[in-house]
């Protein structure tokens, strides 16, 4: 009979592509991964892996079995979800992620609520950018991910995922206190055509949104500095090094020397949580979504 843990390891290798990445995803050593795959080869009596430079690749038999493994593990998860739903208890392990400002703005209250109400639930959280969080849910490395999109740039959500809105997060322009527009009640993005921008890392969804939005107004952004953390961006603004977009979720405390001015076009991020449809009946998923919504209401 095929061993589920070994099938899980093979499935992870098919998804992640290397033994070291599998070890990181499954929180085990590379030696343990190799041992599991070796045992699986002996179990099926066929070669599943072949050397590929310094790494490995799946053989035809390995790819065939990995496809079956994905379907088997999905059915096992569905069975576990149904059993958990029938039992009606919020127990076990729950793995979730959020982008940094949501982790700061929502996780303390939401995860504190879960611990207080459901002591039998073991929660594991991490900070991940939205694309990484969605990919983790799709792969099965995460149970839920708090992600975002912008009012004018949606985040694609793959088939097989369920999403629930948490809040709309307004964003302002952060500028140094001596900026010529710092006294204004509202500003337009077009007024910052000559300013240096402090933005997110290249390739991050929020950076791509800012570039897309400024270019739609005929502005080629002048990027002076990049930082993934809002507080780092605000610290650079306070030093007079540029301006940035500052969503309100998780941004406090704002450093001295920074002025926040709303935008005329009322820029907003849509924040929501996603999970796999085959886990929809799990009480732990429902409890986590409820706790996140309550935390979102308290900051909204």
189-234 pLDDT tens trace: 999 999 999 999 888 889 999 999 999 989 999 999 999 889 999 9
Residue 15, pLDDT score: 80
Least trusted range by pLDDT, from 16-25, 170-179, 284-293? 16-25
Least trusted range by pLDDT, from 5-9, 270-274, 283-287? 5-9
CATH architecture of the domain with range 4-85: Orthogonal Bundle (1.10)
Tokens of 180: 């010529």
For the domain covering 168-269, report its CATH number: 3.40.190.10
Q: What angle do CA 95, 246, 289 make, to 5 degrees?
A: 25
Helix (H) or strand (E) holding 251: none
90-146+270-299 and 168-269: same fold? Answer: yes
Q: 121 by DSSP, 3-state: which?
A: strand
Confidence of residue 163 (pLDDT cuts 50, 70, 90): very high
Q: How far apart are CA 216 and CA 213, in angstroms?
A: 5
For the domain covering 90-146+270-299, report its CATH number: 3.40.190.10
pLDDT mean over 58-62: 86
Backbone φ and ψ for 83, nearest 5 degrees, come out as: -65, -40
Q: Where are the beta strands (DSSP E) in 189-229?
A: 196-199, 222-226
Number of Cβ atoms within 10 Å of the Cβ of 158? 11
Q: How far apart are CA 16 and CA 58, in angstroms?
A: 12
**Interacting residues of 27 by C-beta distance below 8 A, sequence separation 6+:** none
Q: 274: closest CA among 153, 142, 183, 171? A: 142
pLDDT mean over 23-39: 82
Domain range summary for the chain, segments of one domain joined by + = 4-85, 90-146+270-299, 168-269
Q: 92: closest CA among 123, 113, 64? A: 123
Please check whether residue 177 is in contact with residue 254, taking contact to mean a CB–CB distance below 8 angstroms.
Answer: no
């Amino acid at each position: 009979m095929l061993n589920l843990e070994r099938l899980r390891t093979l499935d992870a290798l098919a998804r992640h592509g290397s033994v070291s990445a599998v070890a990181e995803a499954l929180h085990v050593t590379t030696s343990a991964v190799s041992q599991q795959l070796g045992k699986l080869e002996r179990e099926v009596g066929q070669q599943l892996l072949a050397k590929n430079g310094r790494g490995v690749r799946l053989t035809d038999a390995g790819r065939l079995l990995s496809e079956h493994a994905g379907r088997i593990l999905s059915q096992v998860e569905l069975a576990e979800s149904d059993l958990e739903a029938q039992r009606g208890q919020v127990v076990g392990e729950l793995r979730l992620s959020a982008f940094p400002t949501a982790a700061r703005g929502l996780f303390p209250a939401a995860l504190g609520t879960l611990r207080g109400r459901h002591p039998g639930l073991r929660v594991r959280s991490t900070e991940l950018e939205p694309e990484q969080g969605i990919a983790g849910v799709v792969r099965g490395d995460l149970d839920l991910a708090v992600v975002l999109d912008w009012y004018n740039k949606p985040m694609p959500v793959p088939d097989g995922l369920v999403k629930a809105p948490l809040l709309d997060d307004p964003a302002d322009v952060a500028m140094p206190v001596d900026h010529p527009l710092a006294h204004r009640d509202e500003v337009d993005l077009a007024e910052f055509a000559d300013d240096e921008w402090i933005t997110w890392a290249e390739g991050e969804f929020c950076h791509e949104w800012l570039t897309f939005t400024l270019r739609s107004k005929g502005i080629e952004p002048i990027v002076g500095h990049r930082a993934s953390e809002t507080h780092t961006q605000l610290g650079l603004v306070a030093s007079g090094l540029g301006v940035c977009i500052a969503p309100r979720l998780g941004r406090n405390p704002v450093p001295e020397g920074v002025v926040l001015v709303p935008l005329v076009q009322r820029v907003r991020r849509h924040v929501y949580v996603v999970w796999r449809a085959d886990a929809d009946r799990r009480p732990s998923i429902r409890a986590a979504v409820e706790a996140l919504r309550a935390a979102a209401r308290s900051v909204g």
